[in-house]
Amino acid sequence: MILGRMRGAGIARAVMQGPRPVVLSGPSGAGKSTLLKKLFKDYENVFGFSVSHTTRQPRPGEVNGKDYHFVTREEMQKEIDAGEFIEHAEFSGNMYGTSKGAVQAVQAQNQICVLDVDIQGVKNIKKTELKPIYISVQPPSIEILEKRLRDRKTETEESLQKRLTAARVDLELSKEPGLFDLVIINDDLEKAYSELKEVLLEEIKKTEESRKS
């Protein structure tokens, strides 16, 4: 594609020139981060994480600029107003969003850009030209999800209840035909990981091949 057209078309079209991005969604606690950690470890240079912005507090071990850009509501709203976000949403009392810069940073490395977003993010990304592969990671049941969230020990009782309410909505909305290219039920972690790898295999191969040439 010629440069002039790329400039005019903006970020979403520009992203399409590189490998196809991947959107991972699904209820909080379903296992997205766990699966992504494995994927990034096994394919270090192939994937790049789109580091979202959020107004929630960091969890122990989370690194600013790596897991999220942790910002205040004021800072984030200012950047949204300046048109710097592809999508943003309110989730469980906090703001979350994908900046254009987050996706661009991954694209600049010619890596497969992985976005971890909630269902509102999925719906909003559908309106853009990003054209990713959409994957929903789901728990075997709400009861198991609740147990995993409790065992993770990252949420207050209030936050946990909000996440369970959001999870019920997510699981209902996810039934919409065609919304996701793949739904992975994360019961056995290794099995879920195999399914994730299998659907991404073609893009992984293409990206690895392009590295060699």
Residues that bind ligand 5GP (CB under 6 A): 28, 52, 56, 87, 89, 91, 96-98, 116-118, 120-121
Sign of the CA dihedral running 64, 68, 69, 73: negative
Q: Is 152 among the catalytic positions?
A: yes
**Is 42 or 208 the residue whose CB approaches ligand ADP more closely?**
42
Q: Is 168 among the catalytic positions?
A: no
**Is 87 or 118 the residue whose CB approaches ligand ADP more closely?**
118
What span, in angstroms and rounded, lies between the C-alpha atoms of 23 and 136? 8
Is 89 within 8 Å of 80 (Cβ atoms)?
A: no
Q: Which residue is nearest to ligand 5GP (CB)?
A: 121
What span, in angstroms and rounded, lies between the C-alpha atoms of 43 and 46? 5
Q: How many residues bind ligand ADP (CB under 6 A)?
A: 12
Which of ligand 5GP, ligand ADP, none binds 117 (CB below 5-8 Å, type-dependent)? ligand 5GP
Which residue in 59, 73, 168, 211 is the catalytic one? Answer: 59
Which of ligand ADP, ligand 5GP, none binds 21 (CB below 5-8 Å, type-dependent)? none
Which tokens go with 213? Answer: 């040439």
Place of tokens 């469980």: 92
Query: According to the binding rule CB under 6 A, does residue 152 interact with ligand ADP?
Result: yes
Query: According to the binding rule CB under 6 A, does residue 201 interact with ligand ADP?
Result: no
Which tokens go with 86? Answer: 């592809």
**Contacting residue, 25, 28, 98, 138, with ligand ADP by CB under 6 A:** 28
Is 116 within 8 Å of 32 (Cβ atoms)?
A: yes
Which of ligand ADP, ligand 5GP, none binds 110 (CB below 5-8 Å, type-dependent)? none
* Residue 188 burial class via C-beta count within 10 angstroms: exposed 0-12, middle 13-18, buried 19 and up: exposed
* Residue 106 burial class via C-beta count within 10 angstroms: exposed 0-12, middle 13-18, buried 19 and up: buried
Query: According to the binding rule CB under 6 A, does residue 30 interact with ligand ADP?
Result: yes
Angle at 55 between CA 51 and CA 57, to 5 degrees: 95
Q: Is 13 among the catalytic positions?
A: no
Q: What is the DSSP letter of 20?
A: P
Instruction: Report the nearest approach of ligand 5GP to the CB of residue 191 (Å).
Output: 22
Known catalytic residues?
59, 152, 163
Residues that bind ligand ADP (CB under 6 A): 28-34, 148, 151-152, 186, 189
